Amino acid sequence: MANELKKIIMVDDDVTNLIVAKNAFADKYDIFTVPSGKKLFQLLEKVSPDMILLDIEMPEMSGYEVIKILKNSKKTEDIPVIFLTGRIDPESEIDGLSMGAIDYIAKPFSQQLLLKRIEVHMIVESQKKELRNYSTNLEGIVHEKTRLVFELQNAILKTVAELVECRDNVTGGHIERTQNYLRILVDALIRKGIYATEILTWDVNLFIMSSQLHDVGKISIKDGILMKPGRLTFAEFDEMKKHTVYGVDIIRRIEDGTSENAFLKHAEILTGTHHEKWDGTGYPNEFKGEDIPLQGRLMAIVDVYDALTNDRPYKKAYSHEDSLEIIESGKETHFDPFIAAVFLENGEKFKPSSSRKNYFLSPTNDRQKNPEDLSESFTRTIADIVELRGNTEIGQPNRLQNHLKIFIDALLKSDAYKEEVSTWDMDIFLLSAPLYDIGKISVHDNILNKNSSLTRKELLDAQAHANFGVEVVKKIRDDVDGGALLHQAEALVGSHHERWDGTGYPLGLRGTGIPLQGRVMAIVDVYDALTSKRPHRDMISHEEAIEVIKGQSGAQFDPGLVKIFVEHEHEFFRGSE
């Protein structure tokens, strides 16, 4: 209740002092009086005071002994204590304050002075309590935000990795299944004490998450090979095997642009070594035995098991039992014999009905970097992978985020856009922004890499990436608890090619009917495209790009946004350097 009085307990063996205090404090505080430390602790079982006034010199238990007990108990350690005593020497005062008292008032004391000191300390303690509550609440909010962001980044990673797999008609779910198999296998190895010393030096969550990128190099393989329904020729197979090398190159290029390392280092090892064989006949480097990194030896066995137990364009699925026999026969040739033995011992756990959904990832432990730093690394990784299909240089997502930060800061100072922009969750908006062209992963490479003008049909196929991107974001949202956070990403993906005059795509939206996120991204995207080299044209200068954008005000772009963009053009120029 708002008018509830603060509770004070006064402890003093002088009954007269207790009566005086009771009468003096009654109008301002709910006062309880006890004659000894023993009685105090009995009362504390029933009453939770806001402050204790404590005499020092008492029989049986002194005030010093009482405060030691108070401060050593979780239940009472935060109750403020003021010593009331006839001792006036500095040493006694120092002793009392060093034991945790907040004040030391000598007897005899003025009632008005004591009331004023109590009032001041009550205000201070109330502020301390509010700060503690705020800190606790803030910690809870940060924890929940971290959890949601982690789920978001994992869903993004899984969805795009599966899209990479789908380019070669691999059965859906390969990514999720191999993650589950890795988790089962890693847990079994740790229990058996096999390779446990090395595994326990990893952040296993990051390792499992990075496994989703083990075939990322397929993004660089031509569609004609990836999508071929029959067996590959020797030349085609040699080209296909290069996906391991391409994958390592992709991840190393991404590593150069990020401060986060553990996740990408695991991904690089997995990508480059999961097709090596124990006997040295694998590819790309023909590593042998324990020269093959442990991550690659683990991935090799779960990847093969999943390939065996699922249909492929060139074969039908084998049964679980037949697949285990094939793995048994591959011990000491294809697979690490120690890992294979543990895999086979736990064979029943790998049946699809047993392993599906049994294992999940949780936020990384405290040894890792800031979760927001990891989130940016994951999202930019995906964005860079998508951009590589269109021969766009690594680093575009970083530039776009920098430009968006500048633009948003400017909009927050404006009268026209401040109210709407201030409602956005900026962390999620900027985290999701690099995914704006995620639909490009569905566009045929002959179109993405064409150096001349597209035909009408090719243009329509390219424009379909906006709708496909929206479907990808919706799939990610379905996999995330709190998926409403992806509203920003969906708006960006689906509307950044709309035009102010209604002639854009995919929906032909007009004016303010286009989400503000899309209108903002449209300008930033075009500015970046104009000032960067593309397969079909050279870059132009910052000044020329600004003139192009000004020329499209009211046609392609929101004129109000163009005005603000131009007012801050020099900030964008610095951001692009």
d(CA 97, CA 87): 13
- What letter would DSSP give residue 180? H
pLDDT tens readout for residues 209-243: 889 889 888 877 877 787 777 788 999 999 999 99
Return left, alpha or beta for 482; rule: phi > 0 is left, psi -120 to 50 is alpha, else beta. Answer: left
> Hey, where are the domains in the chain?
7-109, 145-355, 389-576
Residue written as token pair 């004023």: 116
Residue written as token pair 């920003």: 488
503 or 123, greater pLDDT: 503
Looking at the predicted structure, is the pLDDT value of residue 172 above 90? no
Read off the tokens for 559: 């004129």
Helix (H, G, I), strand (E, B) or coil at 254: helix
Query: What pLDDT is recorded for position 181?
Result: 95
Instruction: Write 100-104 long-range contacts (CB < 8 A, 24+).
Output: 100/67, 100/70, 100/71, 101/54, 101/67
Looking at the predicted structure, is the pLDDT value of residue 97 above 70? yes
Query: Binning pLDDT at 50, 70 and 90, where does residue 115 land?
Result: confident
State the number of CA atoms in the 13 A half-sphere of 127 facing the CB.
5
Going from the C-alpha of 414 to that of each of 187, 405, 408, 409, the distances in angstroms are 55, 15, 10, 9
Return left, alpha or beta for 169; rule: phi > 0 is left, psi -120 to 50 is alpha, else beta. Answer: left
Read off the tokens for 280: 């040295």
Instruction: Write 425-430 long-range contacts (CB < 8 A, 24+).
Output: 425/485, 425/488, 427/145, 427/149, 427/372, 428/149, 428/152, 428/485, 428/486, 428/488, 429/404, 429/488, 429/517, 430/401, 430/404, 430/405
pLDDT tens readout for residues 271-282: 999 999 999 999
- Are the folds of 145-355 and 389-576 the same? yes
Query: What pLDDT is recorded for position 151?
Result: 58
Q: Among 344, 340, 339, 333, which Cα is nearest to 278's?
A: 333
d(CA 31, CA 33): 7
Residue 85's DSSP bridge partners are: 106
Residue 51 has φ and ψ, to the nearest 5°, of: -165, 150
- What letter would DSSP give residue 365? -
Residue 34's DSSP bridge partners are: 11
Highest mean pLDDT among 16-20, 134-138, 293-297: 293-297
pLDDT tens readout for residues 349-359: 998 765 444 44
The single-letter code of the amino acid at 540 is: I
Query: Binning pLDDT at 50, 70 and 90, where does residue 575 land?
Result: very low
CATH number of the domain at 7-109, out of 3.40.50.2300, 3.40.190.10, 3.40.50.970, 3.30.830.10? 3.40.50.2300
Angle between helices 542-551 and 559-567 (to 10 degrees): 160
Report the share of the chain in percent with pLDDT over 70.
79
Tell me: cis bond preceding 284? Omega within 30 of 0 counts. yes
Looking at the predicted structure, is the pLDDT value of residue 165 above 70? no
Which of 141-150, 292-301, 527-536 is least confident? 141-150
Contact between residue 37 and residue 81 where contact means Cβ atoms under 8 Å apart:
no
Burial 116-150 (b: 16+ CB within 10 A, else e): ebbeebbeebeeeeeeeeeeeeeeeeeeebbebbb
Contact between residue 354 and residue 404 where contact means Cβ atoms under 8 Å apart:
no
Secondary element (H or E) of residue 7: strand 7-11
| Averaged pLDDT score across all residues of the chain | 82
- Give every strand in the sheet of 7-11, ordered side by side: 30-34, 7-11, 51-55, 81-85, 103-106
Global pTM value = 0.55
Residue 315 has φ and ψ, to the nearest 5°, of: -160, 160
d(CA 575, CA 405): 10
Query: What pLDDT is recorded for position 244?
Result: 94
Which of 16-30, 218-232, 401-415, 492-506 is least confident? 218-232
Would the CA dihedral through 137, 139, 140, 144 be positive or negative? positive
> Which architecture does CATH list for 389-576?
Orthogonal Bundle (1.10)
Query: Binning pLDDT at 50, 70 and 90, where does residue 290 land?
Result: very high
Contact between residue 496 and residue 522 where contact means Cβ atoms under 8 Å apart:
yes
Secondary element (H or E) of residue 495: helix 487-495
Query: What pLDDT is recorded for position 163?
Result: 56
Residue 84's DSSP bridge partners are: 55, 105
Q: Among 307, 305, 310, 244, which Cα is nearest to 274's?
A: 244
Q: Can you say how many angstroms the Cα of residue 273 is from the centroid of all Cα atoms in its chain? A: 27
* Cβ-based neighbours of 531, under 8 Å, separated by 6 or more: 539, 540, 541, 542, 545, 576
pLDDT tens readout for residues 3-53: 678 999 999 998 888 888 888 888 889 999 999 999 999 999 999 999 999
Query: Binning pLDDT at 50, 70 and 90, where does residue 368 land?
Result: very low
pLDDT tens readout for residues 53-79: 999 888 889 999 999 999 999 899 989
Angle between helices 234-241 and 243-255 (to 10 degrees): 20
Query: What kind of fold does domain 145-355 have according to CATH?
Result: Hypothetical protein af1432 (1.10.3210)
